[in-house]
Structure formats: structure tokens, C-alpha cells
């Protein structure tokens, strides 16, 4: 552990990196205590949690910007760097270490490029990232110029102003990463489950880069024409969706032996998606999205909160779910779009559209590749100060 002291406070080295449509604080594992309560306490103090505004720390007072990446040398021989993701709770003194973040994974790839960890291939740096939470290997390609990550480019992603250089992530190794049973943890494309406040409900559980649950928007009473803010203010809808998450957990034994209601306030998994066929809607910047511009309407929800953008891991899970015959997502999309083994799906979310390329062996329910383009940028490199525990 390497901690400095100055100005009557402790400090550790830190980088703040925007990865995709999220933002995180990246810390070196060598600067932190071993995993456990002491490490959590240090990170909570760095972020200013618990406090909804996180006013006394580096947290961004939003689930998309209250994230930590713990980086270090690789602990498996086929990788270049370790990346441990933590979702730092804003209002509870807890960190979820059990899930994955696709957007912060792009920041991890960018971090590796800043540190020169990976293999140069022309104007690209190929980085093999050990995603420590799930024990899987993420393949990344980061454009470089003059020995540093390139940031100039014409690639745009929903939820991030402007354009930048595109970096690519392939989550091919993440099928079945949570339960170890392949993309369909129950073995069924659809399960009909009793949900408190709703009754029997069709849901599709998909294990791909995270634990995902798909339901039809109309089945859960989600009004597709409303903004995220309007949806969030509907307390009855929020409670119903949390009941869906709880029912999905009980179906597969996720969180057995824990206080499930309390755990769902902390755990990113399962991520819930209410989906529908394409329709016209207004995105968060006021622009209209036409049905012809995308393939699947979706709203993401977890921990009592709708997402203002779309999780990158969710984009991967959604596209794989579309290619699995009979799932809720599959039945909401024009079948011509996934008629071939390799296909691209464009998902419409509150901040725009995200597209993912997937190659899927439907007969074997196996993923050949699952690729998403992201952008990233270093925002701050320095010291994070915090009060000593």
C-alpha cells in the first residue's frame, strides 16, 4: 500500500477517465489496502459516499459517474492488465464488486494505453484486459498516435457530446460469465414468472457481460413516450420494476442467503430492460429519434433508478438476446435483421442510439464475437485527497 500524507490528509494517485457514457476514478491496486472493509472505506471517502450529492469527494452524484476502476499488473498470463470494477453507492456506504461495467472497461483499455501496456499493431494498441470481477478476458483495440491514445476522430456515441477516436471492445469471452451456464442461465429463451404487483410475466434472462433481464414495456406498464425523468418520478412503476428484478433473482438463486431487498439497492445485477419495437421518441438533448434510425427501443433500470444512457454491457447483452430465438428482445425486432450469423443491432436509448456487432451460433447458443465501439478521454491525472479513516 502506497499512501502519501499532505495538508493533514492522505492521498493516493488517481486518474479520472471518461469511458464511453460513464466516468470513473481509476486507482492503482498498489496504492490501496487489500480487498475488504479498509479498502472500501478509503474508496468511499475518496468518492464522498454516503451522500446523494457526494459533495465532499470525487463522485459525480449519479450512478453513471460514481464508479471506480482498480488497476494493476495482470494476475493471469494471457492478459496485459487487471481491471476490477466497483459501483460506488451514492447514498449507502457500500460498493458493488460483483458486476461488470462495459463503459468503464473502455476507460480501462484507455488507461492501459496511457501506461503502455499491450501490443502495438500499426496504429493500434491491442490490450487483453483481465476483468477481475467476472474472471473473464476482454479484448480491446485502442488507436494510438505518438505513443499515446488518439482522441481525435469522427466517432460519436449517445450520451457524449462531440466526436472522438473509436476504440473497440470484444466481449466474446463473457457469455455465461455470471452463472457459468452459457447465455441462457435457465435454459429457456422465455420464463413466465409471478411478480408481485404484476402477476405472471414473460421475462428473458440472459448472461452476457452481466446478468440481464428483458421484459416487454407494455407488460410492465412502462409508457414508452415518457422521458427518463418522468419514468423515474413514477414510484409505482419503480417498485414494480424492482419486483421484477427480485423475481428474476429468485428464479436463478442469485443472491441466495442474502437480504435480497437490501442487496438490490447495491448490486448492479440484474440489469433490467423494458423493450419495444421502434417508435418515435425524443432523446435527452431534445432531438427526435425516428423509428427508421434504430432497431429496438429499450429503457435500462437497476437499483431503483433508470439509466440516462445505456450500459455498454447492456448493449452487448441486448444484441446477443436479439439473436437468441424466442427471447423477449428477439420477438421485438424485425427477424430480417438477425437472419445471418453475423448481424448488427441498433438500440434506441434515452441519450441516442448504440450499435453492437455480434456473431452468434444459434444452434450451439455460442457467441463468436460481440463488439462495441466506444470513446474515452483522460480528464485528470493527479492525487485524490481524503480524510484518514
Q: What was the pLDDT predicted at 364?
A: 87
Residue 276 belongs to a domain: yes
Q: pLDDT (tens digit, 9 = 90+) per residue, 59-112?
A: 999 999 999 999 999 999 999 999 999 999 999 999 999 999 999 999 999 999
Q: pLDDT (tens digit, 9 = 90+) per residue, 181-236?
A: 999 999 999 999 999 999 999 999 999 999 999 999 999 999 998 999 999 999 99
Looking at the fold, whether 350 and 290 belong to one and the same domain comes out as yes
Looking at the fold, whether 59 and 149 belong to one and the same domain comes out as yes
Name the nearest CA neighbour of 159 among 312, 361, 363. Answer: 312
Looking at the fold, whether 214 and 170 belong to one and the same domain comes out as no
Looking at the fold, whether 332 and 276 belong to one and the same domain comes out as yes
Q: Which residue range(s) make up the domain with 315?
A: 191-364
Residue 185 belongs to a domain: no
Residue 74 belongs to a domain: yes
14, three cell numbers: 488517481
Distance CA 89, CA 62 (A): 9
Distance CA 366, CA 230 (A): 38
Looking at the fold, whether 73 and 219 belong to one and the same domain comes out as no
Residue 181 belongs to a domain: no
Distance CA 201, CA 193 (A): 5
Burial 283-303 (b: 16+ CB within 10 A, else e): bbeeeebeeeebbbbbbbbbb
Looking at the fold, whether 309 and 213 belong to one and the same domain comes out as yes
Q: What was the pLDDT predicted at 362?
A: 84
Q: pLDDT (tens digit, 9 = 90+) per residue, 325-341?
A: 999 999 999 999 999 99
Distance CA 150, CA 144 (A): 5
Distance CA 67, CA 25 (A): 7
164, three cell numbers: 472522438
Q: pLDDT (tens digit, 9 = 90+) per residue, 141-193?
A: 999 999 999 999 999 999 999 999 999 999 999 999 999 999 999 999 999 99
Please state whether the predicted TM-score (pTM) of the whole model is above 0.85: yes
**Mean pLDDT (whole number) for 113-141:** 97
The CATH number for 332's domain is 3.10.310.10
List, in order, residues 6 or more apart from 221 with CB less than 8 Å away: 237, 240
Looking at the fold, whether 50 and 195 belong to one and the same domain comes out as no
Looking at the fold, whether 309 and 279 belong to one and the same domain comes out as yes
Q: How many domains does the chain have?
A: 2
**Mean pLDDT (whole number) for 258-277:** 95
Looking at the fold, whether 240 and 345 belong to one and the same domain comes out as yes
Residue 70 belongs to a domain: yes
Looking at the fold, whether 354 and 313 belong to one and the same domain comes out as yes
Query: pLDDT category, 3, cuts 50, 70, 90?
Result: confident
Query: pLDDT category, 367, cuts 50, 70, 90?
Result: very high
Residue 343 belongs to a domain: yes
Looking at the fold, whether 232 and 254 belong to one and the same domain comes out as yes
Per-residue pLDDT at 1 exceeds 80: no
Looking at the fold, whether 119 and 255 belong to one and the same domain comes out as no
What are all long-range contacts of 339-344, with beta carbons under 8 Å and residues at least 24 apart?
341/368, 342/368, 344/319
Beta bridge partners of 380: 16
Residue 371 belongs to a domain: no
Per-residue pLDDT at 258 exceeds 90: no
Q: What was the pLDDT predicted at 161?
A: 95
Residue 53 belongs to a domain: yes
65, three cell numbers: 459517474
Query: pLDDT category, 389, cuts 50, 70, 90?
Result: confident
Q: What was the pLDDT predicted at 192?
A: 98
Q: Are 280 and 289 in contact (CB under 8 A)?
A: yes
Distance CA 279, CA 3 (A): 52
Whether omega for the bond prior to residue 193 falls within 30 degrees of 0, making it cis, is: no
Q: Phi then psi for 262, rounded to 5 degrees?
A: -70, -40
19, three cell numbers: 469511458
Amino acid at each position: 500500500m502506497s499512501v502519501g500524507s499532505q495538508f493533514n490528509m492522505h492521498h493516493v494517485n488517481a486518474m479520472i477517465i471518461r469511458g464511453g457514457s460513464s466516468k470513473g476514478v481509476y486507482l492503482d491496486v498498489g496504492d490501496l489496502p487489500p480487498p475488504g472493509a479498509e479498502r472500501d472505506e478509503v474508496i468511499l471517502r475518496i468518492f464522498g459516499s454516503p451522500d446523494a450529492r457526494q459533495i465532499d469527494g470525487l463522485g459525480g452524484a449519479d450512478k453513471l459517474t460514481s464508479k471506480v476502476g482498480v488497476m494493476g499488473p495482470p494476475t493471469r498470463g494471457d492478459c496485459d492488465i487487471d481491471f476490477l470494477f466497483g459501483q460506488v453507492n451514492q447514498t449507502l456506504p457500500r460498493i458493488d464488486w460483483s458486476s461488470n461495467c462495459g463503459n468503464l472497461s473502455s476507460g480501462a483499455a484507455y488507461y492501459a494505453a496511457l501506461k503502455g501496456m499491450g501490443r502495438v499493431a500499426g496504429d493500434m494498441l491491442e490490450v487483453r484486459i483481465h476483468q477481475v470481477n467476472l474472471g473473464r478476458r476482454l479484448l480491446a483495440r485502442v488507436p494510438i498516435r505518438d505513443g499515446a491514445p488518439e482522441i481525435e476522430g469522427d466517432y460519436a456515441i449517445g450520451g457524449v457530446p462531440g466526436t472522438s477516436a473509436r476504440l473497440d471492445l470484444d466481449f466474446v469471452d463473457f457469455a455465461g460469465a455470471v452463472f457459468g451456464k452459457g447465455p441462457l442461465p435457465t435454459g429457456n429463451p422465455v420464463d413466465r414468472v409471478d411478480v408481485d404487483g404484476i402477476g405472471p410475466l414473460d421475462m428473458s434472462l440472459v448472461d452476457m457481460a452481466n446478468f440481464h433481464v428483458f421484459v416487454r414495456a407494455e407488460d410492465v406498464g412502462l409508457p414508452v413516450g415518457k422521458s427518463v425523468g418522468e419514468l423515474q418520478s413514477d414510484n409505482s412503476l419503480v417498485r414494480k420494476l424492482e419486483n421484477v428484478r427480485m423475481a428474476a433473482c429468485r428464479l436463478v438463486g442469485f443472491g441466495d442467503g442474502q437480504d435480497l431487498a437490501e442487496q438490490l439497492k447495491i448490486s448492479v445485477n440484474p440489469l433490467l430492460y423494458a423493450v419495444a419495437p421502434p417508435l418515435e421518441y425524443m432523446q435527452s438533448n431534445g432531438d427526435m429519434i425516428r423509428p427508421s434510425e434504430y432497431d429496438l427501443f429499450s429503457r435500462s433500470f437497476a437499483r431503483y433508478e433508470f439509466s440516462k444512457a445505456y450500459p455498454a454491457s447492456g448493449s452487448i447483452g441486448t444484441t446477443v438476446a436479439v439473436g437468441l430465438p424466442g427471447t423477449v428482445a428477439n420477438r421485438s425486432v424485425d427477424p430480417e435483421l438477425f437472419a445471418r450469423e453475423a448481424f448488427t443491432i441498433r438500440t434506441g436509448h434515452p441519450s441516442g442510439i448504440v450499435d453492437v456487432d455480434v456473431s452468434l451460433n444459434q444452434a450451439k447458443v455460442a457467441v463468436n464475437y460481440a463488439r462495441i465501439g466506444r470513446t474515452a478521454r483522460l480528464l485528470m491525472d493527479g492525487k485524490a485527497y481524503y480524510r484518514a479513516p
